């Protein structure tokens, strides 16, 4: 393993939250004058970048922080009932033995992530949980994490399921592994040129 620190996205990467996220979004969307998302739309939405998604749903950028804050707050009541991505538990436990530190960087609330990990018996695997309320704020946080652990860029890997995760890592100069079981489609992720592209959690073992 060439990496000393692995940093994971949470929603769609570790936790299967897509259905719950859509349910909450559709519940609060009318309050902000935003249309709801139908289930049949999800596959087509997977090909869109963040900007394209916001434009498609007619969501003003100024609304995003409020939507995140309210949505993550509502998710807390059901977070312990959500499932891990299948196969992720075993891979996390195995990978943790090969690196110096494990962390999470997410747009979700740290309290939600903490509750979820504890409910699945995985909290002790992670050294830190970091959160950003800005959908485009991950690059700054990745740089800060790297400096905190005194790492060279090539010693840290970020793992996420969205195009914005790839973009943030590339902006921060940090390697990125994109996973295809989350929000964005395999084709869109591949086109963004991540360092690694994984189709199943077991593919992480290729890093060993």
> Mind listing the pLDDT tens digit for each residue in 57-99?
889 888 888 898 899 999 999 999 999 999 999 999 999 999 9
Residue 150 backbone dihedrals phi, psi, to 5 degrees: 50, 50
- How buried is residue 22: exposed, middle or buried, by Cβ count under 10 Å (0-12/13-18/19+)? middle
Please give the C-alpha separations between residue 54 and each of 6, 45, 59, 121, 138, in angstroms, as whole numbers: 29, 10, 5, 35, 18
pLDDT recorded at residue 136: 67
Residue with tokens 């312990």: 80
Answer yes or no: are the C-beta atoms of 93 and 202 closer than 8 Å.
no
Q: What is the pLDDT of residues 118-150, one digit of tens each?
A: 999 999 999 999 998 776 689 999 999 999 999
pLDDT for residue 35 is more than 70: yes
Q: Which domain holds residue 73?
A: 18-80
Kindly report the average pLDDT of the chain as a whole number.
Answer: 94
CB atoms within 10 A of CB 170: 17
Residues 65 and 99 grouped into a single domain: no
Q: Which of 122, 38, 47, 45 is nearest to 83 (CA)?
A: 122
With 70 as the cut, is the pLDDT of residue 193 above it? yes
Count: domains in the chain: 2
How long a stretch of residues is the chain? 208
pLDDT at 41 over 70: yes
Shared-domain flag, residues 71 and 89: no
Of 80, 95, 126, the residue that ends a domain is 80
Q: Are residues 89 and 156 in the same domain?
A: yes
Residue that finishes a domain, picked among 80, 107, 130: 80
Q: Is the dihedral of CA 69, 74, 76, 78 positive or negative?
A: negative
Same domain, 120 and 180: yes
Across 97-102, average pLDDT: 96
Put simply, whether the predicted model's pTM sits higher than 0.75 gets the answer: yes
**Residues 109, 76: contact at Cβ < 8 Å?**
yes
Nearest 5°: phi and psi at 66? -65, -40
């Amino acid at each position: 393993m060439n990496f000393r620190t692995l940093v994971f996205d949470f929603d769609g990467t570790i936790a299967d939250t897509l259905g719950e996220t859509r349910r909450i979004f559709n519940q609060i969307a009318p309050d902000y004058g935003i249309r709801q998302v139908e289930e049949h739309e999800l596959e087509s939405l997977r090909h869109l970048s963040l900007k394209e998604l916001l434009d498609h749903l007619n969501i003003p950028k100024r609304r995003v922080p409020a939507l995140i804050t309210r949505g993550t707050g509502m998710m807390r009541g059901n977070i312990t009932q959500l499932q891990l991505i299948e196969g992720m538990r075993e891979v996390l436990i195995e990978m943790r033995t090969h690196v110096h530190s494990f962390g999470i960087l997410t747009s979700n609330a740290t309290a939600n992530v903490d509750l979820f990990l504890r409910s699945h018996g995985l909290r002790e695997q992670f050294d830190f949980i970091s959160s950003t309320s800005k959908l485009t704020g991950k690059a700054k946080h990745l740089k800060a994490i790297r400096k905190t652990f005194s790492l060279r860029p090539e010693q840290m890997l970020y793992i996420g399921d969205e195009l914005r995760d790839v973009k943030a890592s590339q902006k921060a100069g940090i390697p990125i592994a994109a996973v295809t079981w989350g929000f964005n489609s395999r084709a869109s992720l591949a086109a963004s040129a991540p360092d690694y592209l994984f189709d199943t959690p077991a593919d992480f073992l290729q890093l060993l």
